Chains A and B, each alone.
Chain A
């Protein structure tokens, strides 16, 4: 293949680019980007710094001083914020919600991708649009519905879906299913149709085709979506705040409103609390950056 050797490959181009001379334009670009990045990092760097300082020390010497390093704020913030309980609450909501969302979304996506029915497009539109509605515009009916929906006391201490984890999980699933259906159906449409034909010849049922054939092939996009959904549902604030009226049941993100009250005089505690709350999503982002970015761009740009 002579053309392949003659044409520069993508990696050659990148190598050449890094050897490009440092023109004035490039220096200016980097200066701009570096300044902006530095500015953007100020709140986070400052939070980490303040969280590691002793309150008495900074109260006396000011935050622009240096010294008084301690880890005590984290221990204190963990206790005052009752974070053991709050992280458990977040897990109770996030894990079932993400699994259920992906399960339901992959079923609809499978049907949309597998069969060429005209109403598929309507269904896809309905599911996708649900994701974009402002949640506050649905608050009143959902709130009233959950208040009237009685469940056994062993499922919810309040006896209704209001003030129960099930209600928050359900509403998160209802909202997130749309986005996941959209992304997964695009991915599944790209799978070759022939695989189903041979499966049909072998007598595989629709469920077996879905469970044993399609889902394993969708692993990359499921991983990307799971990463994204864990972050989003962990970060979800509104529904948990309004549907759980008992502060002890709040997940981490919703408890921030109460925390600013209990931390209000001590900025170093605010800082330590911020770092504790941010850590899970930042760790997920750094570990699974590729999944994270691909999930988001899959949804927004159709691959």
Chain B
């Protein structure tokens, strides 16, 4: 296809302007984070004067930074609960709604509402449930538990609030996935005498492979970048440390520790990149 010079310039600009946006605000910062994690820079002088320190920040993080292992532990618990409880529940609800066909609109709408709220607002709303003096839970059970404040249990309170939203999201994705499954597959399994659970696990679930991957990746990445909810509760302290809050604390907190914060951020980048690659392989497959 022949393009005039003007059209060539148009096409170039149509690609370059958005690419510049994404490059300057996403890709270059990602690389800069990695580079900065190996240097000691005060953040004010020119970066060329920064001192190369090798893997010092990484070894500091794993050996002396007190919040590092708690943060890792909390991110892992976060993942286990979302993956092991909220996601299967969302799948179960989607299957039941899909099978019922009728009278399900109300359930679907109500269960999905939390998904349109921000995580920050969810933390705020759940304060009404969890507050020590006026919260509904303590009123109902006659207890005096500080659900958001007690460092032994506040991670679980945060997880209840986050699962409240995650379940609806997973449900919606699987409802779309189930609608895409060819009904003749289920018919064929039925004719062969397969029971309903058997049909689901051996026929329907494997067919939804792309959706399963999307849900898996979303669950992993959301557990890794969890931030808003705990920041609203107590800025991620006292039992609610997460990788994301520790990165933030090292740059907008009392002391700016750029190299160290970058090392923590690089750890997040590495984990997320693994899942992004898996995701891209699946969703872009048809384009190849």
CB-CB nearest in chain B for A257: B232
Q: How large is the interface on B (under 10, 10 to 19, 20 to 34, 35 or more residues)?
A: 35 or more
Cα A129 to Cα B31 with chains together (Å)? 14
Instruction: Let me know if B188 is at the binding interface, CB within 8 A.
Output: no
Q: How large is the interface on A (under 10, 10 to 19, 20 to 34, 35 or more residues)?
A: 35 or more
Q: Are A137 and B247 touching (Cβ within 8 A)?
A: yes
Q: Are B36 and A301 touching (Cβ within 8 A)?
A: no
Q: Are A47 and B116 touching (Cβ within 8 A)?
A: no
Q: CB-CB contacts of B160-202 with A at 8 A, as 1s and 0s?
A: 0000100110001100110010000000000000000000000
Partner among B11, B43, B247 whose Cβ is within 8 Å of the Cβ of A206: B11
Cα A124 to Cα B3 with chains together (Å)? 23
Instruction: Let me know if A71 is at the binding interface, CB within 8 A.
Output: no
Q: Are B127 and A260 touching (Cβ within 8 A)?
A: yes
Q: CB-CB contacts of B125-140 with A at 8 A, as 1s and 0s?
A: 1111101001110010
Partner among B18, B168, B284 whose Cβ is within 8 Å of the Cβ of A104: B18
Partner among A278, A282, A301 whose Cβ is within 8 Å of the Cβ of B173: A301
A225 to chain B, nearest CB (A): 15
Q: Which residues of chain A have C-beta atoms less than 8 A from B80's C-beta?
A: none
Q: Are A33 and B29 touching (Cβ within 8 A)?
A: no
Cα A82 to Cα B134 with chains together (Å)? 24
Instruction: Let me know if A89 is at the binding interface, CB within 8 A.
Output: no
Within 8 A of B (CB), among A118-146: 120-121, 123-130, 132-145
Q: CB-CB contacts of A147-184 with B at 8 A, as 1s and 0s?
A: 00000000000000000000000110111011001100
Partner among A46, A207, A235, A238 whose Cβ is within 8 Å of the Cβ of B128: A46
| Cross-chain pairs A/B with CB under 8 angstroms, 6 sampled | A104-B18, A126-B27, A205-B6, A256-B124, A260-B232, A270-B124
Please provide the 4 A-B residue pairs with the shortest distance between their CB atoms, ordered closest to farther: A174-B25, A235-B118, A134-B225, A141-B32
A21 to chain B, nearest CB (A): 13
What is the interface of chain B, defined by CB distance below 8 A to chain A?
1, 3-4, 6-7, 10-11, 14-15, 17-19, 21-22, 24-30, 32-33, 36, 43, 93, 96-97, 99-104, 106-107, 109-114, 116-121, 123-129, 131, 134-136, 139, 164, 167-168, 172-173, 176-177, 180, 210-211, 214, 217-218, 221, 224-225, 227-228, 231-232, 235, 243-244, 247-248, 251-252, 258, 261-262, 265-266, 268-269, 272, 275-276, 279-280, 283-284, 286-288
CB-CB nearest in chain A for B96: A29
Main secondary structure of the interface of A (DSSP, over half): helix
Query: Given that A124-B287, A256-B232, A278-B121 are known contacts, is A143 also in contact with B96, CB under 8 Å in the complex?
Result: no
Query: Given that A123-B15, A129-B276, A235-B118 are known contacts, is A44 also in contact with B113, CB under 8 Å in the complex?
Result: yes
Q: Are B128 and A130 touching (Cβ within 8 A)?
A: no
Partner among A33, A137, A174 whose Cβ is within 8 Å of the Cβ of B33: A137
Cα A206 to Cα B13 with chains together (Å)? 12
